[in-house]
Each structure stands twice: as structure tokens, then as C-alpha cells.
């Protein structure tokens, strides 16, 4: 079993920045993919960014160039640096882990970009 704990959400003005963190614990395997999804009110959950243990990354078109995903393999932690936030980035952000054919989700953290 794996547990994911997110932190770093909050309220920021448009154009501002936030950094999300997600720490994984439990039965971790060295080969995995960690990432972030988000779900805005009344919308489906969507991919934001992914990063493999080898460092390969994937970004949604809507965040590419503004968000940066990174990870610390030694600490089983993934980060999402969000710059130039827009009101349309407002959502609950969920940490995600996929390994050995299993998926795990964090509880979610609210990010709100509003003046």
C-alpha cells in the first residue's frame, strides 16, 4: 500500500506562483511515474504533468511553459512549480502515482487563482 500526502495549495492572485509537494510513503518501487491531475468545479479530472523516475516529463498543453514538475527520488517526493497562474488554473490538484500496474491518489489540495 502507498500513501500520498500533498501540501502547498492556497489562494494566489492571477500572475502569481505556488509550489505543490507530494510525499509518497509505503511500498514504493523504484520504477514508477508520479504526477499531478486537477479537477475544476463541474469538470472532469485532467492531466497536468507527469514525471518518471528517469526524469522524463509530460505536460498538458494548457500549462506547458508555466508549470514545472520535478521529483526527489531519494525522498519519494514530487513537486509542481506553478508560475503565471491564471483563473482557469483554479482546481483541486491531486497527486498521482502509478507503479506495477497499480494507481494511487492523494486527497487533493485546493489551488485558487483569483483577485
The 10s digit of each residue's pLDDT in 60-114 is 999 999 999 999 999 999 999 999 999 999 999 999 999 999 999 999 999 999 9
- Say if residues 27 and 1 touch (Cβ distance below 8 Å): yes
Q: Residue 114: its pLDDT value, please?
A: 96
pLDDT over 70 percentage in the chain = 100
Alpha-carbon distance values, 58 to 34, 42, 63, 69, 115 (Å): 11, 25, 10, 9, 30
pLDDT at 27 exceeding the cut of 90: no
User: DSSP secondary structure string, 59-75?
Assistant: E-TTTBTTEEEEEEGGG
CA–CA dist 105, 95 (Å, integer): 6
What phi, psi does 26 have (nearest 5°)?
A: 110, -145
Check whether 31 has a pLDDT greater than 90.
no
Amino acid at each position: 500500500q502507498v500513501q500520498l500526502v500533498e501540501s502547498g495549495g492556497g489562494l494566489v492572485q492571477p500572475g502569481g506562483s505556488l509550489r505543490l509537494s507530494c510525499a509518497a510513503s509505503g511500498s514504493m518501487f523504484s520504477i514508477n511515474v508520479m504526477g499531478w491531475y486537477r479537477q475544476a468545479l463541474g469538470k472532469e479530472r485532467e492531466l497536468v504533468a507527469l514525471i518518471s523516475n528517469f526524469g522524463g516529463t509530460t505536460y498538458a498543453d494548457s500549462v506547458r511553459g508555466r508549470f514545472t514538475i520535478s521529483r526527489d527520488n531519494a525522498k519519494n517526493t514530487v513537486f509542481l512549480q506553478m508560475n503565471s497562474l491564471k483563473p482557469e488554473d483554479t482546481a483541486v490538484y491531486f497527486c498521482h502515482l502509478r507503479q506495477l500496474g497499480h494507481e494511487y491518489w492523494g486527497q487533493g489540495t485546493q489551488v485558487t487563482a483569483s483577485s
